[in-house]
Amino acid sequence: MARKKQEPELNKKKINTDGVMGLHGSTTEQPISETLEVNYMPYAMSVIVSRAIPEIDGFKPSHRKLLYTMYKMGLLTHGRTKSANIVGQTMQLNPHGDAAIYETMVRLAKGNETLLHPFVDSKGNFGKVYSRDMAYAASRYTEAKLDPICAELFRDIDSDTVDMVDNYDATTKEPTLLPTTFPNVLVSANQGIAVGMASNICSFNLKEVCDTTIALMKNPDHDILETLPGRDFSTGAQLLFDEAATREIYTTGRGSFKLRAKWRYVKEGNLIEITEIPYTTATEVIMDKVAELIKAGKIKEISDMRDETDLSGLKLTIDLKRGVEPEKLMQKLFRMTPLQDSFPCNFNILIAGMPRVMGVGEILQEWTAWRTDCIKRRLFFQIQKKQERLHLLKGLERILLDIDKAVRIIRETELESEVVPNLMIGFGIDEIQANFVAEIKLRNINKEYILKQTKAVGQLEQEIADLNDTLNSPRKLKTVIIQELQAVSEKYGKPRKTEIVYDAPESAPDEEEEAAPDYPVTVFLSREGYLKKITQQSLRMSGEQKYKEGDSLLMTRETTNRAEFLVFTDKYQCYKSRLSDFEDGKASLLGDYLPQKLGFEPGENMVSLVLCGDYKGFVLFLFENGKAAKVPLSAYETKTNRKKLTGAYSDKSPLVRVLAMDADEQVVLYSTDGRALIFSTAQLLPKTTRNTQGVSVLTLRKKAALRDGTLLSGSGIVNESRYRTKTIPSAGALLKQEDAPDQQQTFEV
């Protein structure tokens, strides 16, 4: 009798019937897949949609609930109230606790200086965004109200411009979005970490954003860089302009840029005063790093450094030793401390409940479409109200012809419930109009009053016609948005705080890099991503190379200690590094694990490593869909010391192999259905953009894909003419047994 197949125990876990794991009592078995679907996925979706990712109005739900509560409390027009009072009222919409609500208020407050345009006019100690240790006071000590700019957040919110939904216990209503009259999503910096995704949006100058939105509405092909030259932060500092990086962020919504502290040299005291620091760091972090470098002996030019921040603003003072050149010292500090820091951008925004990473142009297009819908709803609401009023006045106009008849009908009607029906019959009006007539005061039943009221009929009809004309005209709707943006820009626009530096001198190379000796080394790379750099002497004395269990050699190459290399990953990114950054290894060691050493993102895997040499030649990308892209290696040569390049290659198809070549060579492609093709890279034209999709080389049959590719010289193919083609794309030929590699190839790139 066949043994009954047992279900695997690893995919199930025991759960108590009372919902608590690990306690005594009866248990039930639940598959992990069901646990993920029933328990984990709702949590993940809740964090993404209802907590961490901002929406098109520029707010997360916690921000929106707090500001709307303050608006309903009348804090837009009235004086300040205790923060504790605001926190308590907000808990009607946000049940996550008073501490979380107050932290949200602190970030939105003017005193904290997090936002370029704070929404909360605060009084008291709200801490500082540039200080890690300066704690904000408790909510019972501080006061707050809404800043005047919040009038632009709530304009016409009572005119059905946005949807209103029930709060968590269905006792009141709250808006799903705030009808902001300007693209606040780009004006207010926002950061959030959800489940499996994150968002990091930098702030831009309000006037520049409004001007850019207007320019794009007038001309969709407008160059955004002309009106939006760079980011702007509440902490000021200097933005080191990089046109390529800026355009990448504006186009894709991803990338990074550098911020540098502002400083001045005071000759009288032989000291440096730092007055503005990058948005991404804090004064304590800078002080700790400088102290660490001084202690390690890497900085010897500083005799003292202190924090002199007071009510007048931030100030870090550095006392210099005699004979120190301030400019050289600051270049060194920029290179070694957070006084120069990078801001990574990830413009991930919820659009109709779906997270999307968008560039600046796409965000402004989405905002314009959403704002157009808000204005349409406002116009429709106004038309309805005016039509209702017009309807009542037309009923009143009917009784103007015979006021005595209306009085007689009301007087002669015995029952109150029959007054309205009798008026409807007597004048041919509907119930709403009859009710309106019946409610008129006795003193107002005269010709003068009724004439005065009905004079507005013609004006109302004209207003309704104008509103309908605007509602049905895309051009007029666009004009309304432009006028609102111009008004906001004129009223609330401020000069830039962050200075854009177009020709900043590059930081001098690190002394350690200058001192790095250049000597021959041999590089070994394993399939799992372990890299070993072994000197010639050590290699002669060593035995067999050691690898992790299940791992093996992927490539080996002779080069020099100062050589640069690129690591391409399956996330369309490229990491750049130098071999001098790695310690000399031995054959008996596993080596450095590249994903950890280079800082890969979670779930990111290495596809290929390329030694750059002098950045001559080109890189050949082979994709699963049978396409190949020939990109000059010089496209990856950066003037700055950027360690990571996003959009390193096309994301239209999974990457199979990367081959680096000094000159055109013969390449063999293998498909999953047992075919091979030999072609020359001279048949491909080099592409100037890194993320080009390439051209079709291997024609694939249904369900087949490009499996691998290598140089012909290392393929072991005997019958070369069988697989060679003069024109591409081509299907190749079935691979013969004698041409198939007996074992996994080791590729040199």
Express each pLDDT in 113-136 by its tens digit: 999 999 999 999 999 999 988 899
Backbone angles phi, psi at 280, to 5 degrees: -85, 0
Residue at 71 is within a domain = yes
Note the pTM of the prediction, 2 decimals: 0.66
Residues 463 and 519 placed together within one structural domain of the fold: no
Preceding amide of 729 cis, omega within 30 = yes
DSSP state letters, 635-693: GG--SS---EEES-S--SS-EEEEEEESS--EEEEEETTSEEEEEEGGGS---SSTT--
Tokens of 126: 């709200």
The pLDDT, as a whole number, for residue 640 is 58
- 509 touches 573 (CB < 8 A): no
Identify the burial level of 401 via C-beta atoms within 10 angstroms of its C-beta, where 0-12 means exposed, 13-18 middle and 19 or more buried: exposed
Residue at 247 is within a domain = no
Write out the E strands in 359-460. none
Spatial CA neighbour of 659 closest among 642, 679, 640: 679
Residues 679 and 545 placed together within one structural domain of the fold: yes
Residues 535 and 658 placed together within one structural domain of the fold: yes
**pLDDT of 680-696, one tens digit each?**
888 888 887 888 888 89
Nearest-angstrom CA–CA distance, 315 and 309: 5
Residue at 418 is within a domain = yes
Residues 306 and 391 placed together within one structural domain of the fold: no
**pLDDT of 701-741, one tens digit each?**
888 899 888 888 878 788 888 888 888 888 888 888 887 76
Over range 547-554, report the average pLDDT. 86
Residue at 232 is within a domain = no
Residue at 365 is within a domain = no
**pLDDT of 443-456, one tens digit each?**
777 777 778 777 88
Kindly tell me if the per-residue pLDDT of 13 is higher than 60. no
Integer-rounded Cα Rg, in Å, for the chain is 35
Kindly tell me if the per-residue pLDDT of 25 is higher than 60. no
Residues 549 and 631 placed together within one structural domain of the fold: yes
Spatial CA neighbour of 337 closest among 259, 285, 273: 285
Residues 328 and 379 placed together within one structural domain of the fold: no
Last residue of a domain, one of 128, 160, 179: 179
The pLDDT, as a whole number, for residue 409 is 87
- 568 touches 608 (CB < 8 A): yes
- 645 touches 636 (CB < 8 A): yes
Domains of the chain: total:
4
DSSP assigned state of 8: P
CATH of the domain at 408: 1.10.268.10
Which residues are catalytically annotated? 141
Residues 569 and 638 placed together within one structural domain of the fold: yes
The pLDDT, as a whole number, for residue 639 is 59
Backbone angles phi, psi at 312, to 5 degrees: -80, -15
| Sign of the dihedral defined by the CA atoms of residues 731, 734, 739, 740, in that order | positive
**Domain encompassing residue 455:** 370-475
**pLDDT of 186-208, one tens digit each?**
999 999 888 888 899 999 999 99
Nearest-angstrom CA–CA distance, 247 and 689: 13
Nearest-angstrom CA–CA distance, 331 and 272: 13
Last residue of a domain, one of 137, 161, 179: 179
Kindly tell me if the per-residue pLDDT of 512 is higher than 70. no
Residues 332 and 389 placed together within one structural domain of the fold: no
Identify the burial level of 544 via C-beta atoms within 10 angstroms of its C-beta, where 0-12 means exposed, 13-18 middle and 19 or more buried: exposed
CATH of the domain at 597: 2.120.10.90
Residue at 462 is within a domain = yes
Last residue of a domain, one of 338, 361, 389: 338
The mean of the pLDDT values for the chain is: 87
**pLDDT of 590-613, one tens digit each?**
888 888 888 888 888 888 898 888
Residues 469 and 545 placed together within one structural domain of the fold: no
Over range 252-281, report the average pLDDT. 93
Kindly tell me if the per-residue pLDDT of 588 is higher than 80. yes
Residues 316 and 458 placed together within one structural domain of the fold: no
CATH of the domain at 333: 3.30.1360.40
Tokens of 175: 């808006």
- 669 touches 679 (CB < 8 A): yes
> Among the listed ranges 118-127, 239-248, 491-500, 687-696, which one has the minimum average pLDDT value?
687-696
How do beta strands 354-357 and 348-351 pair?
Answer: antiparallel
* pLDDT, greater one: 399 or 191: 191
Backbone angles phi, psi at 724, to 5 degrees: -80, 145
Residues 300 and 422 placed together within one structural domain of the fold: no
Start-to-end CA span in the chain (Å): 57
CATH of the domain at 129: 3.90.199.10
Residue at 348 is within a domain = no
Over range 81-97, report the average pLDDT. 93
Q: Which amino acid is at 653?
A: S
Residues 544 and 439 placed together within one structural domain of the fold: no
Residue at 208 is within a domain = no
